[in-house]
Every structure is written in C-alpha cells, then in structure tokens.
Amino acid sequence: MKIIKYILIVGILLALYITEPMWRVQKNINDVEVSSIDKEISEQKKQRNDLIAAEAEKVRIYEEEFGKRPSVAYKSRVPKPLQDHWDNIYNDTDYLIYEDICTPLKASNKGWKTTCQYKVRGSSGLKFDTYIIKNGVVVR
C-alpha cells in the first residue's frame, strides 16, 4: 500500500512538472505588442470622449433653443407636457386615454419630437399622432 502512495505522489509531481509551463506566469511579453495595444485603446478612448462631447454639445444647443428635455413616464415614455395636454383636452371622464406609448424624444428643428400611439375611451380605433414639445408646451 505504501508503494502505491509513493507512485501516486510521484505521478502528481510529474504531472505538475510537465504542465508547469501552461499555468506559470510568464514575463516574456513583447513590449511592442503591449504598447501598440495601449495606443489603440487610448485612440478608442479619445474617439469615444470626442463623440460624447459632441453629443453633449448638441443637447446643450437644443436645450437652449427648445427648453429642457421633458421628463417622461417610465414604461409608456409619454412626456409630462403631453400628459398634461391630454388631461386638458380629454378632461371629461368619458374620454380616457389608455394603452399609450410614445417613441423616445428626439430633437428636431422645431422642438422635441415624439410619436405616440394611444386609445381614447369613447372613440374607436388606435390613434397615431406626432407631437412637438417646445419650452415645456405641446406645440403639435
């Protein structure tokens, strides 16, 4: 039984010796490879930062011209000014808007633009309308 234990230990040590180059940390990485990879990463970071800055500048210009981007409801993405507009138009309890959903707000040359799909209780069918919001007011 002792011989089997020694053979097993020798086998494990031999397996570790043979596989050692696979799991050992090696420091012979080529510096040129690392520097070229670092250079590519830094270029990509610079491009990404330039794009983010350009997009932030566009949003700032649109916000100066059309007012702050309106807040939207979580699931339906209905902007708050549009919800207030619908509340003013359909203030009767017979007309209730349901199953409403809007596209994400986009800046256009007239204001913040969204297209909404909704149903109005008391009328038939599904309605699709495009709305323009400028300075927190629905211009349409």
The tens digit of pLDDT for each residue in 49-82 reads: 999 999 889 888 888 888 888 888 887 788 888 8
What span, in angstroms and rounded, lies between the C-alpha atoms of 132 and 140? 5
Q: What share of the chain is helix, strand, coil (3-state, %, to 5)?
A: 50, 20, 30
Query: Given this model, what pLDDT does residue 28 score?
Result: 62
Please tell me the pTM assigned to this model. Answer: 0.60
Integer-rounded Cα Rg, in Å, for the chain is 32
Q: How many C-beta atoms lie closer than 10 Å to residue 95's C-beta?
A: 13
Residue 31 pLDDT exceeds 60: no
DSSP state of 125: S
Taking 70 as the threshold, does the pLDDT of residue 94 lie above it?
no
